[in-house]
Chain A
């Protein structure tokens, strides 16, 4: 099973600042990676799939990059509604697995 490791566990960022979240895979997953945002009491929301393609309706301030084992989610200018937990998911190898999440909190 591929282990997805996200860092940092918690990221403290000021509104308007840039946030960079990392996701590392224990072996190559190609570009078969997605990012999700989850707010308290809500279901996750798909942000990015194919490592870098924004899902429908996702603002341009969210961008994904990387391939193989190293991936990054960047939020260019944090808005109040962006403070949440972010998960990466690989679906290159079976079973598909999620990272443990990065919490983005207000600094």
Chain B
């Protein structure tokens, strides 16, 4: 059974870098043909796709976050990671990692999700 688990600090100071890791078990990132994505949900609000990565390192990022996002993969640990720099209170959210189907032009449906981790940006 595929499982994803987010980990990282729950509190980040404004202007600093948010760093999260997603550990995948039950499937190998490097042998599957899926993308691996990050999605966030501010308190009481809807979902926002942050970006996704393929095991080769190819990425798709949401331009709304401009150049603040870096997504990387470590196939030896079966993990992928998110870094979001220069955070503000607006980045406070539940952050989810998920597996994504490989679509025709970009990653598409998200079929397995982690439970999510709460990240608060505050001094």
A32–B47 contact, CB under 8 A?
no
Provide the residues of chain B in CB contact with A97, threshold 8 Å: 49
Interface size class of A (residues with CB under 8 A): 20 to 34
Interface residues of A (CB under 8 A from B): 1, 32, 34, 36, 42-46, 49-50, 55-56, 87, 89, 91-92, 94-101
Out of B46, B98, B108, name the residue touching A32 (CB < 8 Å): B108
**Selected A-B contacts with CB under 8 Å, 22 pairs:** A1-B64, A34-B109, A34-B110, A43-B96, A43-B98, A43-B113, A43-B116, A44-B110, A44-B113, A50-B109, A55-B111, A89-B49, A89-B109, A91-B106, A92-B105, A94-B105, A96-B49, A96-B108, A98-B46, A98-B47, A100-B46, A101-B46
B103–A32 contact, CB under 8 A?
yes
Complex CA–CA separation, A99 to B98 (angstroms): 18
A95–B113 contact, CB under 8 A?
no
A98–B48 contact, CB under 8 A?
yes
